[in-house]
Each structure stands twice: as structure tokens, then as C-alpha cells.
Structure 1
Amino acid sequence: MQPEGPYRFTEASGVCQVGSAWWAVDSQDRLMNIAVLEGAAAADQPWREAFTNAADTLAQTPGGPRYVNADFTAARPWVAYPAEVENAADRLFGLLGMPLRSPRLEPVGDVATQAMPVINPVTPTSAVPISGQPASAVPISGQPASGVPISGQPASGVPSSGAPPVWAAHATGSPVVSAAPPADPPAAHPGPAEPVVPRDPFASPARRIQPSPSPRPRTGLRLGVAALVLAVLAAGGGLAVWAATRDQDAPPPAGPAEAFPTATPAAGFRPWSQAAPYSPQERALATAAPGLVFVEAVFNGYLRDGRTGALLNPTPVTFQRRCSGFVVNPDGHVLTNGQCVAPDEPVARERALYTLGRILVAGKRLTSGALDGWVRSRTANTRFTGKEPDRPPSSQVFVQLNQARGGLTGTPAIAGEVVRTRAVDAGDLALVKVTRPDLPGVELGDPAALAPGEAVVLVGYHTVDTDFRDATYTLRSKTVQVTATDTAQGPVPLFRLGDDIGIYSHGGVALDPAGRVVGVLTNDQSGAGGANRSLVPVTAARELLAEAGVTPALGDSDRLYRRGLDAYFTGRDGTAVSQLDAVARGGNGNELAEAYRQSAADRQQLTAAAPQESNLPTVLFSGLGGALLAALAIGVVLLARRRGDR
């Protein structure tokens, strides 16, 4: 029967005498491995406590599996592990002494309802058949006094003499007969007796009275006493070390993986759900994501006949272009895709014609099937201008942090203007200056991370809405591989990618493992249908900033946020809470700071509530081990000396 819980269970992965392991999927479609305590063990309090203690012990062990969710109070307690944590359920039940086995094998019994027989084998001493009565099988409890379950395997009952035990005879239903020794063979017929000569006991010249040997020295006793003294001294030294160090503060371990960020940011972007928890990918996303922005450029102008200047439509045509971008310094400078915010005139003209054509389709003045032909027939002889024929169309640029909604021109959208651009063959980049300073920023990295065969993490904006006008956009990420270097599209070499993250991701970024920007996403003009599968190396972005006299830099809040993340991912929860709280209270729009602050606080509470293990056994056994090694060395020396004396 499938267990109950907040998961969709798919199949059992293992069973044992006290529980089972299941593959399951959570609400975010992440694959999980669930360990469940079942049967009579689930109704037995010592087993429930042992199950809970085993899960917590593994979570606090360096390198041990950490659970992401658990319910120890359920009728059948369960613990959930990410699928990336290998053999987590096996290790949990193994710690309980109940290793998992394949669910396809024959079923196993319930250890909590079984009694282990106490077997006292009896070895027969004569050739008389032994009675087939079984030895006493007094049932004992399957629970140890400590509450930790023990294996239900009986001790070996094979007698040392090799004779079958009484319980074996009883099990087979036939008596066990010990074979009688064969009789002596009959002697040959004796011949005539030979005369016997009487033996003189005093005829031998050998000495009859031997002197007593001299007493052997008691070297072994002395060495044994010395070894015992060493053991006592080692144990005492271990106790002294433990007493001296027990009160010293140890660095807190990273808490169990259950403490994922629970304060979901308004951005809807959750790095811990788009990468393995606590992985380098999650950390890179958490580092850079606050500095990414949604970019929307709004263009307004008139379509005119290129020969006569006559208007194709008496009212202006307005269209939008949407993409991604990133903040490069606290002064409000944003880098994005050039064709998004400052398209070339032919690109803007074609987009304006399609916008007007759709208006005509909506007014029943043009059919949708004729739209493409209508645009092609007018592209060559049409101009897109401002209100005056000799003026360019007007444009505005807006950026939004976190989650964004298309069509916004007021708060939370932030207005900006294009400062400088680079042509398509020179990197297709644009520098925008927004009106609000002190936004979260990113750090520029080393483009050496871009090479064919290398993997990078892409981040950019994406939407699943079908209505373009007020669609909601959130960040999306994916780890992809650099497939080739493209030098045929201009003086700036491009890096082609094996995949993309959507049509609005141009202007987005590629990250190295430290969360630094190493490339900017752009259209692949050579193929892939113009998808955003090319990367402009970050060197082109640095050159554009230098041309505009802009220095890329992190702000004070950015540096504090990165220190807080470092504390979070290294298990220093107190420091993480303090530093991330300061960032969240700063009000610069970094909503992930609050999410990770809350996670660190939750993890801190879990760590404080977890039982602390004493290091006394480790110290004590280390001392005893040293003493035993010393005693063994003395024994080897003694044995060598005794052999030398022979």
C-alpha cells in the first residue's frame, strides 16, 4: 500500500522488515526518495524514536544524507530525500540494522512481530538416537533498551563438534543418530607363543631422577601489567582531553536540507527549485538573479509612403520589444540587447508594418492569411518616422526587477534611456541608464570560461502567457553546453549553444560557477530559426562600458548580500541571518535576500532543536586503540625474544 504524504508516489524502490522506500514526485515535479516506517514498527514507540533519531543523525553527519521534508508524527512516519542524494533510504534503514532489499523478491516478515528463538544446541555423546525435542525457544523482545532496533537475525546455532543440533532434528521430523565407531577387525589366528624375557628395570644407564627445571621468568606478566597501565593512562588522557574541549564552540554544521527558503519571493524565481539544493548551480543563480531585469522598449511613430511621404495610417503606430538585461553598477547602468531597445530602421519598419497589419485584420480590412504578403509588398517603399517626416520615431525604455508584467510604464517599472549601442556584428549590445540608483547588480567574470564543451548556466526572462499585452515574466534558467565558436558573423566571436531559454532571453546572461557574468545572450543569425542560442563574450560588454566611461562595480549592498550567501551555503546560519536581514531591510529590491534569510533562520532553529552528540566515545576509543596498539607492539617484541631464546 502506498504511503500518505504531500507527494505523488510512483513505485517502491526497496523493502525491509520495518518499512519501505518509494520513488515520488513533489509539487514542483522534483524526484524524491521517501523512506517510510511501516507495520508493527510504525505503531511501536521505540521504533518510531529510533527512526527519528536515525534520520537526524544522518543529517548531522558530515557527508550524510539530509532530508528535505519529514513527518515523524504520522501514523506511518516518513522522511523525504532529494533523488540526487544517492542511497539515502538505504543508509537510513541500514543504520537501523534493517537493510533494504528489492521489492520484487519474496516478502519479508515484520520484525516487530517476530520473536527471536534462543537456540541451545546439544551435541550427542553416544551412539544412541537422540530425542527430537527442540530446545527452548523463549521469545525475547525485538527492541533494545536504548530504543534502537537490532537485527532480527538469530545467533549461529552450529555446535563446535559438528554434530547436528537438537532443533535441526525436530525441524526435519526425524531423529539424529550418531554413528557408532566400527568394531576392531578380528585378529589373525595366533601362532605359538614366543618366550618372554623379563626386563631389568635397573639395566638402563639413563638417569632416572631428573633435576627440576629452573623457574621461567615472568616477563609476560610484567608486560601485561605494563599494557594495562598504558590502557588506563590512555583512557584517562582521552577523558581529560574531552573534558577540556567539550565546552568549546564548534562551527555549526549546515542544517538539514529540509530548511529550504520558505519565504517565496514575489519574483517567483526560486533558485533552489531550478537547481539541485545547495549545489554550485543554485548558489550561482542566487548570487546573480537579483541583478537581472526585465526590459521593455516602447516605440511610437508613423508609417509613410517612401516616395510621396503620404501616411499609410492617420494614427501613430505603437509597438513594444521585450528582452532581458542586467545591472552593472550602483549608478543605474543596465546592459541589454541592442536590437531590443534600439533596433535598426529596417527592423523597426517591419515590426511597425506587422503591428498596423494586425490592426487591419482586427478591423476586418485584411485577412490573417494575407498579412505576411501585405507586409512584404510594402517593406521596400515604406518609412517609419516620427510625427515629422524628418524625425525618428519616439521611444521609451522601462526595466523591472524580479517578477515583471508587460505594458507597465509606472511603478514598479523604472524609466531609462539608451546611452550607447554596438552594432549587431560588434556584439549587439546597448547601455541603458535608469532613473533609480542602488539597484542590485551583477559581477562581470572571465570569458575564458566560454569554450566548446564547457557548460554554463543561462538566465533570462520568460513567460508562459499567451496574451502578449499584459503577460507576466519571470526568470528562467538552464544549464547548457557551449557547442562551437562562430567567427563568421563579425569581428566579435560568438559562442554557439546547444539550447536556449526562450524568445525574451536575449540580453540575458551566462554565468560561471561563482555567479559572475561571462557572456550575454543574443540571436543566432546563422541558424536555429533566430533563437537566442549565441553568446557574446563579456569582453564586448566591457568594451562598450569603457567607451561610455562607465565602470562596472558592485554596491555595498551587493557585497553584503554575497557575504550573507556565503555564510548561508557554508552553514553559518547566525551570520547569514544578520547579513541577509540587513540587505532585505535596505529596500534595494533584492527579494531573494529575505527568502534566504528566512531559510537560514529556520535552519538555525532546526539545528538548535536537534540532539547534540557527545564526542566522548570517539576520544575514549581513540585512547584505548592507541593503548592496544602499544600492547600489541610489546607482544610482538616478546614473541620475537622468546623465539630467539630457543
Structure 2
Amino acid sequence: MPTAGPYRLERQLSRCEVGDVWSGAGERGRPVTVARLNELASADERWRGAFQAAAEALGQAGADRLPVTASDHAAERPWVACSGPEGSAAEIFTALGQTLEPVAPVPGPPPAAGETTAEPPADPVRAESAPAEPEPPTIPFQAVPRPASAQPVSAQPVSAQPVSAQPVSAQPVSGDSMSNLPAFGNPISAVPVSATPTSYPRTADDGPRPDRLLLLIVTLVSLLVGAAGGAAVVAATGGGEPAATAGPAPATWTDAQLLLPSTPPAAPGLPPAPDGEWPEDWPTFEGQESGVRDVTDLDGVGFDFRIPEGWSCVLAEKAAAAVHYRCGIFAGETVTTGGDLFVRACPAVCDDAARVALRQREEAWGLRWTSGTSLRSWIENPEVDGKPTYGVLYVGFWRGAPEEVLNREVVLRMTAPAAAAAEVRKVADTVRDRTYTQ
């Protein structure tokens, strides 16, 4: 049975594009309704922030507030539990402009001949015999069969109903240009998707919602629109026509612009073993130790990291959506200890499938990846090309800025004589530490 924190999720009530609503019970059997983001929306910081902001706004709306009993916005799938009438937590998705579709209950077995059908209990959430529905699969992204482009969106007038805007496309507009990388349709946008606005279910009197709650929701949607790059600007005033502006279409990159190899790897990595943990026994750069220097402001990298004294980093190549540096100890143009650092853009929707596809583009000595998540994976090789040369390959995904969605990939590939293995391990650790996104 699925859970959300201490709550058992017993029956799914409804679902929408970005989440679902369940009836459930706490440790003492007290009934609640739980709203959760789905996996795809949970991977987008804009949706996580919007979900939290909507829940907090509704939970602070005076006498008409949403009866929130518990929440966890830092969970893998953020959730909010509410007391009160069944389905009350659905109001969060309604405030985000989502259209909820009811989920029919799972029918029980027909009664045997001669038996009478008992009336259902007054509270199906608490009924011991209520069938538990398995957790539904997350709605996947669908492949785009042909190039698609983003359409400008007109803002909707503000009314007493929840404010909504039309979806903003964020999909790559090319399939072939990304080679083995998938193209996506109907991605989660920063603007909540809505059809016909749905009225809020009442939890107190039948009077209108406080004006400040409406303004909070309008402000929330306006902020999300701005974060998306602007498909519509919602006017939160009573008079005048709302202004509309069209933002640029999502960028599409070719393999050359991403500095991806033109041919598949000869020895890609094998699927990772689950539950991989970063090695705790790896050496690290400690504090202000001598013999270490900070690398800052490398053009196109976007983060600082540390390397041993005597190492240097030189630009190898740069493209529209990627940069490649060679860092280490040089003998002429040959790196004797060290190797390559790539930083490139991730597809517009940098979800699990896109991350795995990028990882599969790397030469990985045919060894098995270590990874507990597709956000970061690595391989150690004690004998590169059959020689006593140590090698390490690290692939991670991160945000170019804390407020952005997951949008960058970093690849570190380094080798060293066995006696200098600790040096490249330290560099790999500092790159992981500066870029790893939880």
C-alpha cells in the first residue's frame, strides 16, 4: 500500500497532469485526504515551489483556510495531508489551474448466490474491507513524431475563479539532432495547465473566498509565468485588458553543439547496480591545505572546483551548448595525470530518460556504472587499456542556478599512474560536491 509520510494511502480519488489525490488514514486511523505531486512534476523545482506556495496560501486563508494537518515539501514526491471533507486536499491542484479527473473505485467481487449485498459503510476511507488500489503509474512523456514548436499563449482575464493559463511547450523541436536522445511531448511547463476553471469545494461558510487568497493565487501564477520565460502575463487588476507577450521557443541542440561524439561508444557502461553510495574512503581536499588551488571562472563551466598545485586547465573546445577543458599535468600537449572535463546543456526536459541517454553516450570501458540515482553515476577502472593505470569517469546532472530546473550535465574522465590515483579521486570528489543535486 502506498504511503505519504505516516499516512496510508488507501484509495485514489482523482488525478491530474501533475499529481493525484488520495483518501487515507493516519497511525490512529483518523481519515485524511492527501495531495501529491507525481514523479515528473517532482523533478521540476518550479512545480515543487508552486505546489508548496499554493498549499501555504490556502492554509493561511483565514476562516476559509484549507485544513492542512501535515506536509512534506522536501520529500521525493511532495505531499500535503488535510482533514475535513473527503477530497479537500484537491483544492491545491485546483488553485494551480489543474483539472482533476475522478478515479472510479475498484469494484469488489460479485456476491455469491443467495447472499445479500450489504450497504457500504458510511466512511469508505475507514472501512477495513475497502479495496486498496495499487499506486498508479506516472504519466510518461510521449515521443514527438515530428518537429514541434512552442505556441504563444494569450493570458486569461482574472475572475473570481482560479486563474489559469495555457500550457507552454518546453520540448526539443528535433528528434534526429539529439541522436540517441529522446524527444518529448507535452512536458511539464512552469505554467499550470487548466481547462475550465473548477470551483473550490467549501470547507466553511458559503461566502466568497477572501480577496487576498485570490490575489495570492494570481501572484503565484504570474511568478510561474515569469519563471517560464514568459508566454503570458496575468494582470491582477480589476480593469483593463491583460497584456500578452510571446517568449522564445525552447532551444534545440545538435550533437556537435553539445560536443557529443558522432559515433556510438565502443564500450559503453553497463546498467548500474542499485543503491550505489559515493565512496566514503576516497581522499578529499581538506580545508585550506597547501598544495591545492581553486579553479574559478572557467568560461562556460559555471562552478568552482579544486585541483592539486601543479595542475592546469586549458580550453580544448567550445560549442553553442557545451564546453570541454583538459585539466591535469601536461607533458607537451599530453596529459600524463588528469583528463577531460565536459559541461553541456541537458535537454529541455532533463528527466530520467534523458539523463540515462546522455550517460550511454560516454565511453566507459565496458564496466558497470555505480549509481543510486540517474542524477550521478561513476566508474572506477584499475587497469585502463590493460595497463596499471587508474581511471575514473563521473557523470552528474545539476542546476546552473538554485532557482532553475535541472539543466546541466558534467562529465569528468581522468586517468593517472596507480601511484597518483588519489589525485584524480580528489578532483572527482570536489566536482561531485560542487554540482551534485539532491
Q: Note whether the superposition's TM-score is higher than 0.5.
A: no
Larger Rg, first or second structure (1 or 2) = 1
| The structure with more helix, counted as a fraction of residues | 1
More strand by share: 2
Give the TM-score normalised by structure 2. 0.28
